Chains A and B, each alone.
Chain A
Amino acid sequence: MTGESCGLFEYGHRACGGCAAAMAARTILDAAGKDTIVVSATGCMEVFSTPYPETAWKVPWIHSLFENNSAVASGIVASLKKQGRKEKVIALGGDGATFDIGILCLSGAFERGHDFVYICYDNEAYMNTGIQRSGATPYDASTTTSPAGKCSTGNRRPKKDLPMILAAHGAPYVATASIAYLPDLKKKVEKALATEGPCYLQVHAPCCTGWGFEGEKTMAIGKLAIETGLWVNYEMEEGKVTRVKKVVRKPVEAYLKEQRRFRHLFKPTRNEPEIAKIQAVADRNAERFGIDIKLKK
């Protein structure tokens, strides 16, 4: 109808309606501009944006394997440097590729200090292959490999703290963002690209299909994660937390209740001890990052 697309990430991609990863891709490219080379790991974003022979990308884009996007990006950065070229390089991966399968190559690239930005869109499980748990899946979430039932309340392990692991590599800029706050995400992508050295950005990307909510609620769920303290938006520069999004916190059940993956905590009966454990995760986050806004009484 209008004929012209809105940006460098073309429509016609096959993401689910209301997909947070698609919103993230659009915003990232909007921030990065056309002089950017993108390396994608295997995952939802790779699959829905490039079913051969189609591609939604209007910048140079390459996919090789699940585990090696940081290694491919390292090679591209080294080649551009040798040629004296100034294009920016972004490596993209889901949480499965980033937290689990690609962490070896990611650690290597950060340790070698290549000048690139790694962006993880974190939907907290392997969504592309059918909602299997990953190192990013939060405590008690039900997935197909951590199903809740009579003997289990879902995923038994806490979410891995990957931003801190990468900060420990000496990364100059590490930040978390959410698709619920797109202008903030855009600013952080710009800042990461402007910072020399390996930078890491982790973007919370609620998945309507995997988490079990309606596609129109994607941003609302993202906001609730932040408002309950279960996701914290912060920036770390040279290993120190320099900026944090503060909130007037809501109880965690405001967030949990909206999603099928936590349904077992409320039906058939409320599981108070487990809800209290998740509240404790939020309380620890709040204390560690100082996110609480103190209201005057």
Chain B
Amino acid sequence: MALGLGCTAKPGKAKENKTGSWRTFRPEFLHEKCTKCGLCSQVCPEGCIAEDGEGQPVPDYDYCKGCGLCAEECPSQAIEMKKEEK
């Protein structure tokens, strides 16, 4: 690939890089414990936790690296980290 002077890339093209394969531990969201506060979505360094129509968090496992910040910070202990089975 030639690197010209001043190279450019299309906005958000990083999305093609699916970082979910990095994961060792997988966050499991316990919907019955969730208070829908939205903190997990805010703290996720990937920004890959969305909300469904009812305000429940929906992680995108294609990108989640399994860092565990969401589980650590969840005030309701509604996220559990489970060993990934591949």
Contact = CB atoms under 8 A, between A and B. Distances in A.
Contact of B68 (A9, A56, A215): A215
A53 B13 contact: yes
Contacts of B13: 10, 53-55
A89 to B, nearest CB: 18
Given A13-B14, A23-B43, A55-B10, A18 B60 contact: no
A12 B15 contact: yes
A18 B62 CA distance: 16
Contacts of A26: 45, 47
Contact of B7 (A12, A20, A52, A216): A52
B18 to A, nearest CB: 7
Contacts, number: 121
Interface residues of B, number: 39
A25 B65 CA distance: 17
B43 A11 contact: no
Nearest to B23: A17
A49 B14 contact: yes
B11 A55 contact: yes
Given A12-B19, A15-B45, A215 B50 contact: no
A58 interface: yes
A158 B3 CA distance: 41
B69 A22 contact: no
Contacts of B67: 16-19, 215-216, 218
A182 B10 CA distance: 28
A57 B47 CA distance: 13
Contact of B45 (A1, A5, A17, A55): A17
Given A4-B50, A17-B65, A52-B7, A22 B45 contact: yes
B48 A11 contact: yes
B12 A55 contact: yes
Contacts of A52: 1, 3, 7, 9
A contact patch SS: loop
B contact patch SS: loop
Nearest to B19: A12
B46 A54 contact: no
A259 interface: no
Contacts of B14: 10-14, 49-50, 54-56
Most A Cβ at <10 Å: residue of B9, B10, B44, B46 = B46
Contacts of B15: 5, 10-12
A55 B48 contact: no
A217 B62 CA distance: 23
Nearest to B58: A2
A215 B11 contact: no
A110 B39 CA distance: 36
A219 B43 contact: yes
Most A Cβ at <10 Å: residue of B19, B44, B50, B67 = B67
A22 B61 CA distance: 18
A6 interface: yes
Contacts of A54: 9, 13-14, 16-17
A6 B69 CA distance: 17
A290 interface: no
Contacts of B62: 1
Interface of A: 1-2, 4-7, 9-20, 22-23, 26, 49-50, 52-59, 182, 214-220
Across the A-B interface, the 4 shortest Cβ-Cβ residue pairs: A17-B67, A216-B68, A18-B67, A10-B12
Given A1-B61, A49-B14, 6 more contacts: A1-B58, A10-B11, A11-B48, A16-B65, A17-B65, A216-B67
